[in-house]
Amino acid sequence: MGSVAGTTSLNSILECVEHADTLTDLQQAIERLRDHFGVDHIVYHWVSADGEQYGCGTYSIEWVSRYLEKTYLRVDPVVLGCYQRFHPVDWKRLDWSSKPARDFLEDAIAHGVGNQGFSVPIRGPNGQYALFSLSHSSDDATWDEFTSTHHRDLILVAHAFNRKALELEPGRAQEVAQALSPREVDAMTLLALGYSRAQVASSLSISEHTLRVYIESARHKLGALNTVHAVARALSRGFIVI
């Protein structure tokens, strides 16, 4: 594990990021970064725009599909924990104590994500929030040495990716969502905590039909593609806090 090339190689990759014209270009750059650093995976994940729907990375199609299918965005300690932080964080320092979080980690490792991880939270204009994450299978001492050695480079690369993403998707940076009503906030908060629709309706003492109205209204205000996307936007923009 470790960089397989020198500083010149990293600079050449950063130049590719700077001159990227499409997400395909960014995808190629992130694959080169993975090989440069010698890790299993690197992912750039724009949470405030499209949640898990937007970004680039090296996870397998199987894992990405499963993440969406299981709506893991609601319980992922990396997404939820890093939103509360402004500095890079080792995944070991996040809260994995809940059963959903432990089950998620077990599933992620089974799909080749790795048992170690490091994420750089990024804040952009108008509440934009993104993550740049690396993951790998290694022991704690090896991973600690790697992150300590490459800490500054990883922050530099993370912000380079985010600057280019903002440039490629300017409309996303300009979006301003309408405020949610108190009932919409309640509904979205419980969904973010992993409640089913039936549990949310019961907790709020409303019918599932009425709940659906609240969710659709919140989704429309947030400009979200679906409920998971709406939860991601509500979290990233600070409309709900969990």
* pLDDT tens figures, 169-200: 755 544 455 789 989 999 998 998 889 999 99
pLDDT, residue 52, reads 41
User: In sequence order, which ranges of the chain are alpha helices (DSSP H)?
Assistant: 7-18, 23-37, 47-50, 61-69, 77-83, 99-110, 140-168, 170-174, 182-192, 197-204, 208-222, 227-236
pLDDT, residue 177, reads 55
pLDDT, residue 223, reads 83
Residues of the chain with pLDDT under 50: 4-7, 48-52, 173-175
| CATH code of the domain occupying 177-236 | 1.10.10.10
Tokens of 128: 């934009």
Q: Please tell us whether the domain made up of 7-173 is placed in CATH 3.30.450.80.
A: yes
- Residue 84 phi, psi (nearest 5): -90, 0
Q: Confirm if 221 and 178 have CB atoms less than 8 A apart.
A: yes
Nearest Cα to Cα of residue 3 among 114, 92, 134, 119: 134
pLDDT, residue 176, reads 53
What's the one-letter identity of residue 175? Answer: E
What is the domain partition of the chain in residue ranges?
A: 7-173, 177-236
| Distance linking the first and last C-alpha atoms of the chain | 36
pLDDT, residue 41, reads 96
